[in-house]
Structure 1
Amino acid sequence: MSQGSNFVDYVKICCRSGHGGAGSSHLHRDKFTAKGGPDGGDGGRGGHVIVKGNAQLWTLLHLKYRKHVIAGDGESGGSSLKSGKTGRDEILEVPLGTIAKNSETGETIFEITTDGETRILTDGGRGGLGNWHFKTPTLQTPRFAQPGEDGKEEWNVLELKILADVGLVGFPNAGKSTLLSVVSAAKPEIADYAFTTIVPNLGIVAYRGGKSFVMADIPGIIEGASQGKGLGFRFLRHIERNSVLLFMVPADTNRSIKEEYEILLHELREYNPEMLDKPRVLAVTKSDMLDDELQAEMKKELPTDVPSIFISSVAQKNIDELKDLLWREING
């Protein structure tokens, strides 16, 4: 995570659910009844730690400094079959696309995808049964009840995968941040060295007729990213959710454009072959320095199985055409 970043995509929290309340072992007594039967109520369940989807949130920043989340304990049962009060639930609101994992095993517990969706992350202990449950023809006045169940304490991880319509894929300094700053109001840090983008930048791209789509500049993948080299894995995770992948290869690349595109494809294939099922678009960036003749030559060598376009963010060349192309791909 870079220092000034407010994009937090990973938090680890200790969740403690509430203990269940004890059942009551009360025997009914009033001025008319000297030896009544059992009437002890059940204990209340302990509070859960619950995760709830909120479409207004984009990051996990608000949870970054909450290391411990503690739910309330359930209350004990009372006389006259009164049940104890349920413990207070702790509700953690998260952006859509958040995945909850067990921090020790790494296994996914669930994923939040819709607004208002609630899932229990750590369940509270069950309340104990009161003594009236244990009455039998031979044991008419049980003087015992169940204790409440203990709550749980566990470390869990919440991880966010960005939900964006277009993901920018390319080596560092392929011009991704520059494009994002031109087509949206996002202000990514831009410099000409590898890994300037350390966290994904999201930008809302305004389109014709008041429409818009979300573009994510996913930090540069490098050869070997799929093996976790560099900051590989953490970034590739974000590409999984994008509906269209925009491959960006600069016109001044040392390799041929087709070659560089193939390497990027290979990285994605190694990481997760399903990602190749997404619609792809190829943009040749920094093409303001090409004359028409050179561009025509380069066009012949471009891969034929993907729609391609020559653009220049700085010179605003073909930017509207690129938006049109992306809009068509997003809307299938």
Structure 2
Amino acid sequence: MTEQPSQSFTADRVRLRDALDALPAYKPGKPAPAVEGLTSYKISSNENPYPPLPSVQAAVARAAEEFNRYPDMGAAALLAGIAEHCGVESENVAVGTGSVGLLQQLVQITCEPGDEVVHAWRSFEAYPIVIGLAGARSVQVPLDAAARHDLPAMLEAITERTRLVVVCTPNNPTGPSVHTDELRDFLAQVPPEVLVVLDEAYLEFNRDEAAPDALAMVREFANTVVLRTFSKAYGLAGLRVGYAIGTPRVAEALRKAAVPFGVSQLAQDAVLASFEAGDELAERVEHLVAERTRVVEALLEQGWEIPETQANFVWLPLGDRAMEFAALAAEGGLVVRPFDGEGVRVTIGEDEANTRFLDLCARFRGQAT
């Protein structure tokens, strides 16, 4: 069928929600810039730099033979696999399109228009977006001087309108993890009708011995739910799948709020294959952690003052020079994630990318001094 030449659309007068005007735009990582004579690297989106494992690719290929069919809407095998992996029951598990999809569902099941969601700032930039879309209010509590969650201040920010509190640990984009004692003290004081979300998107990279056992917290505090993703350590970012663990009532509510058939069969089968390939995945994660250590130690030797990171990225608190640094990185074939006026987040990527990043940091610091 031959398409007609394109024509401009008539201006519409459709009434849209006023809340859209106040929403910040999510800024995804840009493609790696092409630079003559250099291999370019995208180290802006906290992706796993390794390609999918062969066994996972094979599972996805088999599932692709039937993507003319809907996936299992209940994701029964996936729920059972996650439950076994985490030592819980299937009734405690819900799955969604990444942990951010599940966070959106959590806001939907807890918040009426005008209710409040308390979270640290700066933290994951999608938080204000999903909160605002629900008509709720984003209550942003500044990080402390070490770029960590200020849990006492977050506790003080809870009001009668608070329905949800989000704790991102390790925190994106700064990197530190909350600690067991401070988190338990915090949870013990949060009103039991307020749901606390422990967003553990970077759990597998966390080597802080004081980091909490989030599942133990869920068992101890019924108003707690854990979010995790297969996008980062598992390398399944393009398949969009994450999971939540909470009480059966909360998990059931999340399943009710889910977009029907939201998690594809390709994603479901890839996760189960990834569980089978756990040793191989662990090796990759350990290499990334080792590279993170190399990068952090080199930055400290160069004289940078950076927060402790337990994720697969580092944070450079560059303030007003963040965009300048990002531009210089692009000239060198590296795309990083700048936050204008605040800093730059840089993913631990391929070994060569990490080395080039360190060279850039040394040159930039030389200019700054």
- TM (norm. structure 2) is 0.25
Instruction: Using CA pairs under 8 Å that are at least 6 residues apart, name the structure with larger relative contact order, 1 or 2.
Output: 2
Structure holding more strand per residue: 1
- TM (norm. structure 1) is 0.27
